[in-house]
Amino acid sequence: MAKEVSFAKPRPRPDPAALDDFVTGGDRAGGAAQAVHASMSQPVVTEAAPKVPMKRLTFDIPADLHMRMKLDCVSNGKDMAEELRAMIEARWSAIRK
């Protein structure tokens, strides 16, 4: 008995002009999207941080500590990784190359 495998047809690619209109709030995006994008009409310019080579560090922590850290970061709108980098940097800031 042969096994049958069916594959779904890929979705058609959207029109690039329609995507641009959606992002910019153009005519094809609809009234609701235009209202949302109207408040964001002024571009925000930020300086890009210089690229720093990164290394991954993996270690285990107790689940309750992880939950407390996560809840604190979420409630304060902060990124856990950035907070941990700041703590590690503060601890070893005196040691330089």
Cα–Cα distance for residue pair 55/65, rounded to 1 Å:
23
- What pLDDT does 24 receive? 83
Residue 87 banded pLDDT, cuts 50, 70, 90: very high
Domains contained in the chain, number: 2
Shared domain for 38 and 72, answered yes or no, is no
Q: Are residues 94 and 71 in the same domain?
A: yes
| Whether residue 91 sits in one domain with residue 68 | yes
User: What length does the chain have?
Assistant: 97
What pLDDT is recorded for position 71? 95
Q: How far are the Cα atoms of 18, 39, 47 from residue 35, in angstroms, in the given order?
A: 17, 7, 28
21 shares a domain with 61: no
Q: For the segment 3-60, what is each residue's pLDDT rounded down to a tens digit?
A: 888 888 888 888 888 888 888 877 654 554 454 444 455 566 667 778 889 899 999 9
In a domain, 84, yes or no: yes
Residue 68 or 47, more confident: 68
Return the higher-pLDDT residue of 94 and 91: 91
What's the pLDDT score for residue 66?
Answer: 96
In a domain, 4, yes or no: no
Q: If DSSP codes are grouped into helix, strand and coil, which group holds residue 97?
A: coil
Where in the sequence is the domain holding 23, given as residue range(s)? 13-42
97 and 73 share a domain? yes
My answer on whether 97 and 77 are in the same domain is yes
Residues 61 and 86 in one domain: yes
Please say whether the beta carbons of 44 and 51 come within 8 A.
no
Which pLDDT value is given to residue 29?
A: 45
Q: pTM of the entire structure?
A: 0.46
**Amino acid in the structure at residue 82:** E
Residues 79 and 57 in one domain: yes
